[in-house]
Amino acid sequence: MSEQSVSAIPAAVRRNHWMNQTATHAEITPDGTAFKFLGEVTTWRQAADRMDAFAAALARRGVGVGDRVLLLTLNRPEVVLSVFGINRLGAIAVPINIRLTPPEIAYIVDDADADVLIVEAPLAPLVGAVAQVTDRIKKVIVIGEPVAEGQESWADLIAEDPADFEAPDVPEDTTCLIMYTSGTTGRPKGAMLDHVNLFAQALTLLRVNKVFGEDDISFMTAPLFHIAGLGSIAPNFVIGIPTVIHPLGAFNPTELLDAWERERATIVFNVPQQWQVICADPSIPERDLHLRIISWGAAPASDTLLQQMSDCFPKATNVAVFGQTEMTPITCALSGEDSLRKLGSVGRPIPTLQYRVVDDEMNDVARGKVGEILYRGPNMMKGYWRKPAETAEAFEGGWFHSGDLVRQDAEGFVWVVDRKKDMIISGGENIYCAEVENVLGAHPKILEAAVYGRADERWGEIAVAAAALREGEDLSLDELQAWLGDKLARFKQPKALVVVAALPRNAAGKVNKVAMRAADREEAVV
């Protein structure tokens, strides 16, 4: 074949991303199940048609290459198809954590510089509250019935005739998602992920979960506004297996087990807090479950819980995954026979990335020694949206600095010892202390405050606020949480308050959180 004939092949037909993967399955298995939600099936052909119809509707409304489209949604197939439709245009989907307060959401709206918002009907009242803080949102598309003048229905958009639509060529290095993470300096940062990142994540999960054929049924519980949600279903579009989407809401282990049994789920993922209540359900031995992979991550799990998971689901392989949004997200995995043998480890680094464990001067440390783990490879984000200084800091020396202090044993298994970043993981959510401290600093009774993590059986960790109060003032935890109600998402709010005369500081005048955590462990002050 000559160079000339090769160049005549349209680049778009050779692309490898979830839009083309969906279109491929629509041709090969048009009546196969792409999604199932509350018993309703979306076939691959329906998924591809709705993706294109939504993309065409957005294009007619002025959305194009590089534009950002916000999503304030729960879990349902329309959310995934919206992301695909946005990406079909070369535009960027920006999922928003629904647990944030209106001012926190407004910051993301302004930072992303986006004027189109897709919202699910139950969350529509949030849009009005956000509009009190920013006027940037110009177009609102509702999954469900519109609730305000000027809003449009998602169903109406996909019902429009897409015949005049011609999708642009979208290269694999095009940014497809901006996932906001809380910032170490107090403001969230948008991690820019491209299609290469998502395909690398898909390969990682195909390997980790040992998906070799089309017999698996993937069950998704993780929120789609987290990379754990979208990342967990990326391999399903590569191989063409069904995704059962579980609705978000108050977590009910019995309803979840019922759904696993009814849908014959084989691959499931939950955070440790959820696994605790699942394993406590007495009905498990009598159930006809088909679980092959029981996976967990996003927060630490105790040795006791891991043993309970093994006892409750002896036929399933326990897979622990570890990582962060900037790495799309998995960087380490602990699977199968090693899950009990290496209790407490997050596993070995995955083979689709490169890693180092280094000291403060970026010298490699010997195995058994503590250092920061660094990464690079196709899983690594492109950088932080419009934050060049933070991006340069994160990629110092050409490697992504995770902020996790780890040690490796002789076999290469990784144990997380501490965090270089001042971060707490509570119930699967990241809490950056600086962000909370910035808000606490505005409390009229607080002179100065610091936030640190405390181990907790239910949540993994909770945030503790240590506060020095202004002279003559008194402050209770209930009063503090009431004041924080409209300023900080509930999961970020301190669950304990320690009133101190003054914050401990080191010789350089910096707050000594090591001493604070040590004192907290010794005295258990609440």
The set of residues, in sequence order, having a beta carbon less than 8 Å from that of 158 and lying 6+ positions away, is 50, 53, 54, 57
Buried b (16+ CB within 10 A) or exposed e, 289-301: bebbbbbbbbbbb
pLDDT (tens digit, 0 to 9) for every residue of the chain, 526 residues total? 455 555 678 888 889 999 999 999 999 999 999 999 999 999 999 999 999 999 999 999 999 999 999 999 999 999 999 999 999 999 999 999 998 999 999 999 999 999 999 999 999 999 999 999 999 999 999 999 998 899 999 999 999 988 888 999 999 999 999 999 865 556 889 999 999 999 999 999 999 999 988 899 999 999 999 999 999 999 999 999 999 999 998 889 999 999 999 999 999 999 888 998 999 999 999 999 999 999 998 777 777 888 889 899 999 999 999 999 999 999 999 987 787 788 878 999 999 999 999 998 999 999 999 899 999 999 999 999 999 999 999 999 999 999 888 889 999 999 887 677 777 888 878 787 877 887 898 899 998 889 998 988 888 889 999 999 988 999 999 999 999 998 999 999 999 999 998 888 765 566 788 788 878 876 654 4
CA quadruple 54, 60, 64, 68: dihedral, nearest 10: -60
Q: Is 259 within 8 Å of 219 (Cβ atoms)? A: yes
Residue 526 confidence (pLDDT) = 42
The CATH architecture assigned to 423-523 reads: 2-Layer Sandwich (3.30)
Q: What is the DSSP letter of 136?
A: -
Q: Residue 262 and residue 448: Cα distance in Å, rounded?
A: 53
Q: Which residues of 403-416 are buried (b: 16+ CB within 10 A; e: fewer)?
A: bbbbbbeeeebbeb
In the prediction, which pLDDT does 78 show?
98
Cut 0.75: pTM above it: yes
Contact status, residue 72 vs residue 98, Cβ threshold 8 Å:
yes
CATH 3.40.50.980 domain locations along the chain: 12-249
**What is the maximum alpha-carbon separation in the chain?**
85
Domain with CATH 3.30.300.30 in the chain: 423-523
Amino acid identity, residue 66?
A: G
Please tell me the predicted confidence (pLDDT) of residue 525: 44
Coarse DSSP helix, strand, coil percentages of the chain, rounded to the nearest 5 percent: 35, 25, 40
Per-residue confidence (pLDDT) for residue 6, from 0 to 100 = 56
Long-range contacts for 208-213 (Cβ within 8 Å, ≥24 apart)?
A: 208/319, 208/321, 208/330, 208/333, 208/335, 208/350, 209/235, 209/267, 209/293, 209/295, 209/319, 210/293, 210/317, 211/235, 211/239, 211/241, 211/267, 213/239
CA distance 405 to 419: 5
Q: What's the rounded Cα separation, in Å, for the pair 153 and 139?
A: 11
Q: Are 18 and 87 spatial neighbours (Cβ–Cβ below 8 Å)? A: yes
Phi, psi of 133, rounded to the nearest 5 degrees: -105, -35
At residue 511, the pLDDT reads: 79
Task: Answer yes or no: are the C-beta atoms of 397 and 344 closer than 8 Å.
Answer: no
Q: Reduce the DSSP state of residue 499 to 3 states and report it.
A: strand
403: alpha, beta or left? (left if phi > 0; alpha if psi -120 to 50) = left
Structural domain 12-249, CATH architecture: 3-Layer(aba) Sandwich (3.40)
* Distance from C-alpha of 334 to C-alpha of 352, rounded to nearest angstrom: 15
CA torsion sign, 401 to 407 to 412 to 416?
A: negative
Q: How far apart are CA 66 and CA 91, in angstroms?
A: 5
The pair of three-digit structure tokens given for residue 512, joined into one six-digit string:
């000594």
Contact 131, 111 (CB under 8 A): no
Query: SS3 for 495?
Result: coil
- Residue keyed to tokens 């199932």: 36
Strand, helix or coil for residue 389: helix
